[in-house]
Amino acid sequence: MKEWIKGNPTLPAKVLMALLKRKLIGYHHYYGITDNSKRLLAFHYIARCMLFKWLNRRSQRKSFDREKFRRFLEKFPLPSPRIYVNIMDIRLPPAYMA
């Protein structure tokens, strides 16, 4: 994620956020399994920090402070991480019950 954000800082905000949203949804679908919520939240936090850092490098002076970044994320919200697959529901019954 860091390399992708670092490599695409000049994209228009609308395009950048649409692509980032798709990447985060894909990550959440792939890693959103039972007992992985802490890592999903950590990844979401790191992605937000990287986005803040690289959006501030777009110009000679800082583009965002924390308040402006919060308003930016209200306009272009990121998907919240959540668990998509509960592996407890897909367990096979014991062999002696079959």
Burial (CB count within 10 angstroms: exposed 0-12, middle 13-18, buried 19+), residue 83: middle
State residue 85 phi and psi, 5-degree precision: -130, 125
Query: What digits encode the pLDDT tens for the residues 38-90?
Result: 999 999 999 999 999 998 888 777 788 999 999 999 999 999 999 888 887 77
Q: Which amino acid is at 83?
A: I
pTM of the model: 0.81
- Please tell me the distance from the alpha carbon of residue 53 to that of residue 27, in angstroms, as a whole number: 21
- Please tell me the distance from the alpha carbon of residue 36 to that of residue 38, in angstroms, as a whole number: 6
Q: Which amino acid is at 15?
A: V
In whole angstroms, what separates CA 35 from the centre of its chain? 18
